[in-house]
Copies of this chain bind each other. A is one copy, B any other.
Amino acid sequence: MNEKDLNTEQNILNAAEQVFLEKGFATTKTTEIAKKAGVTHAMLHYYFRTKENLFNIVFQNKVRLLANSFFSVDVTGKSFTEVVSIAVGRHFDFIKENRKLAPFIINEINNNEKNSETWQEIAQPIFAKVAESIIDMMDAEIKKGTIRPMSPFDLIQTVVSLNIFPFVAQPLLKILRHVTDEEYNVILEQRKHENIRLVLLSLQP
């Protein structure tokens, strides 16, 4: 396994990521991945045996990436409001940097039961950990009466809904006004702050 091998394998993986994210499993052709990776068609099978196998590797990586994107804020010395604001903003930025990630995963989960199971197996423990990491903080706030009683999962769901949706439904919403991609970036920045505001509002008792 010298450097060149790793490169080829990695090239295929990178190409596969791009094409799968762009077109989804069904419409992706292995020839296109190979072409983009600059290798022969058969090399793809040499390294990954089947299209499905290659897809699974990509899919699992992406699932891990998405699931780990929720909450990773250093809480020391910050108020709950601050923590939430930072976490929501960061999460929004991450999703923005990986626009195709969420639509890809959602779509593949919808198209294949097996992918759904993969998502559950990988994401569930990660989400549980996230919930655990904020439950004490939330409980304290609830006792103080600064936020209304709710589970961490409710909070997560609200954040996810608000943050992911603009990118999942980007093509749906973009047409509301004729905007260039650059204008859209400005809109997204507004939306980020709007989302932060909405999340905090949703926490109010």
Contact = CB atoms under 8 A, between A and B. Distances in A.
A119 interface: yes
Given A116-B171, A153-B177, A156-B176, A107 B109 contact: no
Given A198-B201, A198-B202, A120 B160 contact: no
A6 interface: no
B109 A106 contact: no
Nearest to A104: B110
Interface of A: 23-24, 26-27, 102-103, 105-107, 109-111, 116, 119-120, 123-124, 127, 153, 156-158, 160-162, 164-166, 168-169, 171-173, 175-177, 194, 197-198, 201-202, 204
A149 B169 CA distance: 24
B153 A164 contact: no
26 contacts: A23-B111, A24-B26, A26-B26, A27-B111, A102-B169, A102-B172, A103-B106, A103-B107, A107-B107, A109-B171, A110-B171, A123-B175, A127-B175, A127-B176, A156-B176, A158-B194, A158-B198, A161-B162, A161-B169, A162-B162, A165-B168, A168-B168, A194-B202, A197-B202, A198-B202, A201-B204
